[in-house]
Structure 1
Amino acid sequence: MNRMTGKIVLVTGAASGIGRASAVRLASEGAIVVCADRNLAGAEETAAQLPGASAVEFDAASAEACRKVVDHVIAKHGKLDVLCNIAGIGGFGHAAQIADEEWDRLVAINLSSIFHLSKAALPHLEKTQGNIVNMSSASGLVGAAYASAYSATKAGVVGYTRTVAIEYASRQVRVNAICPGGVDTPLIAGGAVMGQIEGIDFALVARMSPKMAPLARPEDVAAAVAFLASDDARFITGIMLPVDGGQTAG
């Protein structure tokens, strides 16, 4: 498929995981991808695989960095067609034991970065009638034990996505979000996250298990990113697309 031919796409979190898989998928469909990540070496490794791609160092926790990375894309390519807000971090633990600094960092990276990047990108996306694909989570749609701070940020992405989609629909800018469930990354596969929580009730954790097995691959989520970013989704805006193997189905 060549659905993205001629499109300039900014992908944050492109050094690894879903971000890297999305950059690879979009480039395979013809996009010129700017790979942004705090891990510049990882972003460069991703970009090196892709025709016409480039890498830029980017700290999602910094409002200034969010503005500058959009300016970088415009200076380099003269336009922006798609913004993929994929950079994010996890954070898990008992609700009463989450440190203030951890809360602030989760909000800055998972939620505020989407605000700052979108704010900078929207005037340019109006010119190209482009779109935004945000990364929320199944934990942003339903409650997830031991993920109160993380879930709050991802629920915030849901509300922000829906509201901006409404505001910009008449301006021909689409805004959607994807809500992955469990994705097979080394961290998840190794059980490292939940295994570190003292006194965990695994019955509560099991409530958020996917109905399908095994876990999703980053490429499964990247396929959804590519669909929403493409003109195949030209009449779709304001949706939260679960890629969760039935995790939120009930």
Structure 2
Amino acid sequence: MSAVVGRRVALVTGGAGGIGFATAERLAAQGVTVAIADLREDAAVTAAERLPDAFGIGVDVADEASAERAVDAVVARTGRLDVLVNNAGVLRDNLVHRMSLDDWEVVLAVHLRGAFLMSRAAQRVMVAAGYGRIVSLSSIAATGNRGQANYSAAKAGIVGLSKTLALELGRFGITVNAVAPGFIATDMTDATADRLQLTPEEFRERTAELTPVRRVGTPADVAAAIAFLAGEDAGFITGQVLTVDGGLDL
């Protein structure tokens, strides 16, 4: 495996807010140059302005050409790509008898197809360098969650994808892992609260009561796990799923 020389570069999808921005912030604090990629390019650029040595780019992770362009843009600007964080995601929750085909396909496209396309594009650069870290966001919902057949299927797929890529890419110095958050206080979980006819505060309080550590997670909690798996100390860890849920899924 090639030694890491110079300032590392990370690409974080869905990086303009929530877990994505918290991850970008954590990596930047560790001296990593971060490319914040988001479907909303203006939001990505604005978010990057809040961090040292970061820049924003637009990407539609579910589009093959867009995914390739995003990776090419990072390499053209920095000359390298060491870390990919597949964080982009959307929710289209509903019970299966009410779930439209579009609801199903959009969620699978962004979460699972997007992780595949971005990983496939990034591995070209990483294989050539003999080094890389790919971390994708799964969820404790990967084992099933009422009203989230699409999301659960996508997140289960992330686990299978990550383990397979770990097998294929390990000999090139590339580790591939997944992080599975539980309840994290973000705009996405606030949207779930609305679907359940609860206020975000009520939803968080009820979930905290069911969680062994008696609180809900924050984006920073997940970012810490991602940053660890993306770092040098995790070089002998691959094909794993790190759960970050305060014990909610025990």
Verify same fold: TM over 0.5: yes
Partner of 2:167: 166
Cα shift readout 1:126-183 (whole Å, capped 9, x = no counterpart): 214111010111111x221111111000000000001110111122110000000100
Letter in 1 for 2:55: S
Q: Which residue identity does 1:120 align to in structure 2? A: A
State the match for 2:42 in structure 1: 41
- 2:139 is aligned, of 134, 137, 140, to 137
The reply on whether 1:194 has 2:196 as its aligned counterpart is yes
Matched, 1:120 2:114: no
The AA in structure 1 aligned to 2:122 is A
Q: Which residue of 2 aligns with 1:199?
A: none
**1:221 is matched with which residue?**
222
Aligned partners of 1:76, 1:48: CA distance in 2, in Å?
16
The equivalent of 1:61 in structure 2 is 62
Aligned counterpart, 1:177: 178
Indicate the residue corresponding to 1:153 in structure 2: 154
Runs of 4+ deviating beyond 6 Å: none
What do residues 1-58 of structure 1 show as CA deviations (whole Å, max 9, x unaligned)?
xx99710100111110000000000000000000100122321222111111110111
Q: CA RMSD in A?
A: 2.1
Give, in whole Å, the separation in 2 of the partners of 1:169 and 1:186.
35
Contact 2:62 2:109 (8 Å CA) reproduced: yes
Specify the code of the residue in structure 1 equivalent to 2:43. G
Over 3 Å counting, the alpha-carbon distance change for 1:80 and 1:44 in structure 2 is: same
- Alpha-carbon offset, residue 189 of structure 1: 4.4
SS of the equivalent of 1:76 reads helix
Query: Any conservation in 1 of the 2:18–2:187 contact (CA below 8 Å)?
Result: no
Secondary structure of 2:178's counterpart equals: strand
In the superposition, relative to structure 1, how do residues 66 and 150 fare at CA in structure 2: closer, same or farther (>3 Å)?
same
Query: Which residue identity is paired with 2:246?
Result: G
TM-score, normalised by the number of residues in structure 2: 0.89
Q: Are 2:138 and 2:156, in contact at CA under 8 Å, matched by a contact in 1?
A: yes
| Long gaps (5+) in structure 2 | none
Instruction: Report % sequence identity.
Output: 37
Residue-by-residue CA offset, 1:81-135 (whole Å, 9 max, x unaligned): 0001111112211112110011111111000011111111112112141110101
C-alpha spacing 1:36/1:4, structure 2 compared with 1 (3 Å): farther
Residues 5 and 29 in structure 1, CA contact (< 8 A), matched pair in contact too: no
